Amino acid sequence: FAMHQFARHTLDSLEFTRIAEEVAKLCFCEGGKGHVERMLPASDPLMIETALQETLEMREIIEFEEAIPLEQVEKVEAPVGKIKVVGSILDPEQLKRVADFQKIIVALHQYRRNKETKYPRVSNYLGQLKPLHDLILRIDQAIDPTGEIKDSASPRLRKIRNDKVHARAVILDRLQRIIGGKAHRADRLDDVVTMRDGRYVIPIPDSEYNPRESVVHDRSKSGATLYVEPTEAIELNNKLKQLHMEEAQEIERILLELSDLARTHSTEIERNWELYGRLDFLHAKGAFAVRTDGVMPVLRREPVVSLQAAYHPLLLLSAKRKQDVVSLSLELGIDRNIIIVTGPNTGGKTVALKTVGLSVLMAQAGMLISADAKSELGVFDQVFADIGDEQSIELSLSTFSSHISRITAAIAACDERSLVLFDEIGVGTDPKEGAA
């Protein structure tokens, strides 16, 4: 792609930029949107032909096959970038994101079956995907759908958690017995075992506190109630705290193990993401073609335009019915190299110019055009457009001066393989001077 050949001004004037925005809305992931942002017209006939064929295949898949399993996915570049650092640990949510993405890859890889002959280009992308079943299985064994580590993540973790359940039950039983021993008091507090600083405690009146029998962990706002840990529960709480630490260490070990496994597949995951973005991009172009009745024109090497029943795609998107939009048929570069369009205001002259220019830009960017399939388009090395009010405050140019500067620049740079579109030459000044 050569940006200087198709200047940003031309892309904006002919509404190619708006087309790209509409295509981006149809993408499922940031990778696809990135391809749309970088989408520019090419001037290599082979590259254009390949891009058009890819888009045509995807349009036919959308129209005639079961839905391709593309889904909204979060970025996986961040986790992949992190796991490339030896010793780094992905958190459960990041690992789950990688596994969920890989499940889509598995579905896409399976979708390829029986489509290699009919859709060879799209199938080629699908065939390059790496499913990584072992990584998915291991992550699913360890992490549940909410992002929590499962008991089944390792035998040791299961034992630690079972020991925690038992230790907690012992502590609660012991503390309930202590509370129960005070039940004869008329002014007893609620029989509540609670936690302070990660340790189970019970409430007692300030007047009953004995430093030899318990350790204070908190005091109520009124100061009348203390939350204490009885000495006979200290060892039990210590044991539970130790189990908490062992659990955290085992979870960290499991996450490191899973991260190391993902690290061995980081190249494949990264490549899968690139391919997914490419497929998403093709799908968005195909979906846009479905919405705008896009077809693949006959591609010719020489710079010619032969549009049959062509429509401006943005008008088709905004119209309630296709019948409400007027089509355009036009030939340029075959029997004539110049066409002058005249007519009243609101007669469609500017739309006609934009339809011609936009059809050329879209086709050379690998997008299907809204026209009859008999339409023919050649490859232009450059496209110039001067359309609309181009007054520039920054350059101290009036509307007329701005138009003239665009026109002179186009005339100086164009050649026999250029498409030049001028809308209302001489506008923005006195009609007599403008006519000259």
Looking at residue 213, its amino acid is E
Q: pLDDT tens for residues 28-76?
A: 999 999 999 999 999 999 999 999 999 999 999 999 999 999 998 877 8
**Selected residue with higher pLDDT from 392 and 112:** 112
Which 8-state DSSP code applies to residue 68?
P
214 against 313, higher pLDDT: 313
Distances (CA, A) of 239 to 102, 149, 364: 40, 22, 71
Give the torsion sign (CA, 259, 261, 263, 265). negative
| Alpha-helical regions (H) of 292-345 | 313-318
In this predicted model, what pLDDT tens digit does every residue of 343-359 receive, in sequence order?
A: 888 888 889 999 999 99
Q: Report phi then psi at 216, rounded to 5.
A: -80, 135
Residue type, 381: D
Give the pLDDT of residue 334: 85
| Cβ–Cβ under 8 Å, residues 379 and 344 | no
pLDDT category at 8 given cuts 50, 70, 90 is confident
Residues 107-128, mean pLDDT to the nearest whole number: 95
Q: Give 148's DSSP letter.
A: P
Mean pLDDT of 232-248: 92
Give the pLDDT confidence score for residue 3 in this predicted structure: 39
Specify the range with the lowest mean pLDDT, choosing from 31-35, 263-267, 404-408, 428-432.
428-432
Q: What count of residues does the chain have?
A: 436
In the block, tokens 């498409």 appear at 419
**Is the predicted pLDDT of residue 1 greater than 60, yes or no?**
no
pLDDT digits over 196-238, tens only?
888 899 888 887 888 888 888 888 888 788 888 888 888 998 9
The tens digit of pLDDT for each residue in 368-406 reads: 999 999 999 999 999 998 886 554 444 445 677 777 888
250 — phi, psi (to 5°)? -70, -40
Binning pLDDT at 50, 70 and 90, where does residue 241 land?
very high
Contact predicate 96/147, CB 8 Å: yes
Q: Vertex 179, ends 234 and 174: CA angle to 5°?
A: 45
**What pLDDT score does 293 carry?**
95
Pick from 218, 235, 120: nearest CA to 167: 235
pLDDT (0 to 100) of residue 243: 95
- Per-residue pLDDT at 181 exceeds 50: yes
